Amino acid sequence: MANEKMVKSITSMDEDFAKWYTDVVIKAELIDYASVKGCMIIRPYGYAIWENIQRLMDGMFKETGHENVYMPMFIPESLLQKEKDHVEGFAPEVAWVTHGGEEKLEERLCVRPTSETLFCDHFKNIVHSYRDLPKLYNQWCSVVRWEKTTRPFLRSREFLWQEGHTLHATSEEAKAETIQMLNVYARFAKECLAMPVVKGVKTAKERFAGAEDTYTIEALMHDGKALQSGTSHYFGDGFAKAFDITFTDKNNNLTHPFQTSWGTTTRLIGAIIMTHGDDNGLVLPPPVAPIQAVIVPIASHKEGVLETANAMFEDIKTVCRAKLDDSDQTPGWKFAEYEMKGVPLRIEVGPRDIADGNCVVVRRDNREKTVVPIKELAQRIPELLNAVHEGLYNKALERREEMTYDARSLDEMIEIAENKPGFIRAMWCGERECEDALKEKAGVTSRCIPFEQEELDGKCVCCGKPAKHMLYWGKAY
């Protein structure tokens, strides 16, 4: 245990942010690399975070009337091709199954990159009348996209996600659903991940393949890069027409229904790491932390220490996900270990504390120490966890505000993009040409047209013609 500190030391953020990120995912034991390039093994601690995300988000889906289903993982090539824009968007990056056992398949199957086509095929079978609508479905599964460059959680060839797919009698209903689910994502980001997000709509260029509109929540990472953290798509009746889905409406007319889909992925774990993490490792928002409070006994060989620590553990495990570490590692090793793993509260208890009837609670987010009477500990923990959550959210929001810049000319935009990592707010005329030019000249992409608009200027930052919208621009993961 001599080199304990060395074993767990990580690159500092300022030195090399990408390396810091990789160090954290490995040292906090979130993942291991797999034998297939670009895929990852999600280890117990990482998977427990995902299970918490699933449980909390699934609760929100069920509150809003959604049901879970499971679709096959394979899509026949002919089915993928039914919607033109969709196949163009996905075909270049799918994995193809060509053989079953020793036999060559008559038709190639792709491993689902997303399941719109499968849901459409199913909807066609089960929807006939307005009485069958709406269908409000979701599935939790893994999908595959054969990416060239990959990074754990942020971009991997296989990833876990949820994909909602809904079908409605009217376009108004479908549009309302699209916005409702974007709001669910934004609420989840705030309440469960302590992560502030900008809500908005994507430009035509950045839309999902086959969608009429793509809405997004965009978060800002520590290094000033944007992370698209959840998207919600309105399809109109385009897929329904391509797949020939019809229903008899209340007036007995045969008509096409309207569709949405929306998704979030294990990328959210990457978002947590890069929003809250620090040079000591992971910092987890309490709602998704596998361990919310860890008790570290000090001088545990002394009489009464382990007994007290055990009693405290029995007491607090009723109010939070608690752990008592009574292993033979040193307290120093344990402090570093649980800091690396981002446990929101550390509770220290030693002979002197016990003599005073107290323990010391240390917050992971700001290292603030609070002396708490042992008998009040269980009662105080919820408020301390709330304090960590609010602290994390406010710190992230403050940082985002500090790192959001306004540009009123192309030169200003280039200057900010080169020197100041963060979001850039700027006006835009609505033309694809200007969007492309900004990418080329300033190296930024449009993140979204935010719902909360503000007129920074009357003219487009790029061409100077009358502006239509204020946009968030930035470099992105």
Residues of the shown chain interacting with a copy of itself in the complex, contacts defined by CB under 8 A: 32, 34-36, 39-44, 47-48, 50-51, 67-76, 79, 91-102, 109, 111, 118, 121-122, 125-126, 137, 141-142, 144, 146, 157-158, 160
Interatomic CA distance for residues 263 and 160, integer angstroms? 10
**C-beta closer to a copy of itself: residue 23 or 353:** 23
Nearer to a copy of itself, 117 or 446 (CB): 117
Determine contact, residues 174/259, Cβ cutoff 8 Å.
yes
3-class SS at 133? coil
Residue 472 CB, nearest distance to a copy of itself (Å)?
A: 30
Residue among 96 and 451 whose Cβ is closer to a copy of itself? 96
Name the residue among 176, 171, 142, 160 with its Cα closest to residue 72.
Answer: 142
Taking the complex as a whole, how short is the minimal distance between the CB of residue 426 and a copy of itself, in angstroms?
A: 34
Nearer to a copy of itself by Cβ, of 112 and 475: the residue is 112
**Beta carbon nearer to a copy of itself, 39 or 414:** 39
With vertex at residue 73, the alpha carbon angle to CA 126 and CA 132, rounded to the nearest 5 degrees, is 15
Nearer to a copy of itself, 341 or 363 (CB): 341
Q: How far is the CB of 35 from a copy of itself (least distance, A)?
A: 5
* Contact (Cβ atoms closer than 8 angstroms) between residue 89 and residue 208: yes
Least Å distance between CB 355 and a copy of itself? 34
Nearer CB in complex with a copy of itself: 162/203: 162
The pair of three-digit structure tokens given for residue 371, joined into one six-digit string: 């002396």
DSSP code for 237: T
Rounded-to-integer distance, Cα 34 and Cα 373, Å: 47
3-state secondary structure of 335: helix
Q: How far is the CB of 325 from a copy of itself (least distance, A)?
A: 14
Closest approach of Cβ 111 to a copy of itself, in Å? 7
| Residue closer to a copy of itself (CB basis): 42 or 211 | 42
State the minimum distance, in angstroms, from the CB of residue 52 to a copy of itself: 12
Output 71 or 245, the one with its CB closest to a copy of itself: 71
Least Å from the CB of residue 447 to a copy of itself: 26
Structure tokens at 27: 């040292």
Q: How far is CA 319 from the centre of its chain?
A: 26
Shortest distance (Å) from residue 102 CB to a copy of itself? 7
Name beta bridge partners: 163. Answer: 139, 263
For tokens 């006939």, the residue is: 128
> Under a CB-based contact definition with an 8 Å cutoff, are residues 156 and 38 in contact?
yes
Whose CA is closest to 226, among 448, 422, 430, 461? 422
H helix or E strand, kind and range, residue 181: helix 171-193
With 0-12 / 13-18 / 19 or more C-beta atoms within 10 angstroms meaning exposed / middle / buried, residue 105 is middle
Instruction: Find the farthest-apart pair of alpha carbons in the chain and give their distance in angstroms, rounded.
Output: 81
Residue type present at position 194: A
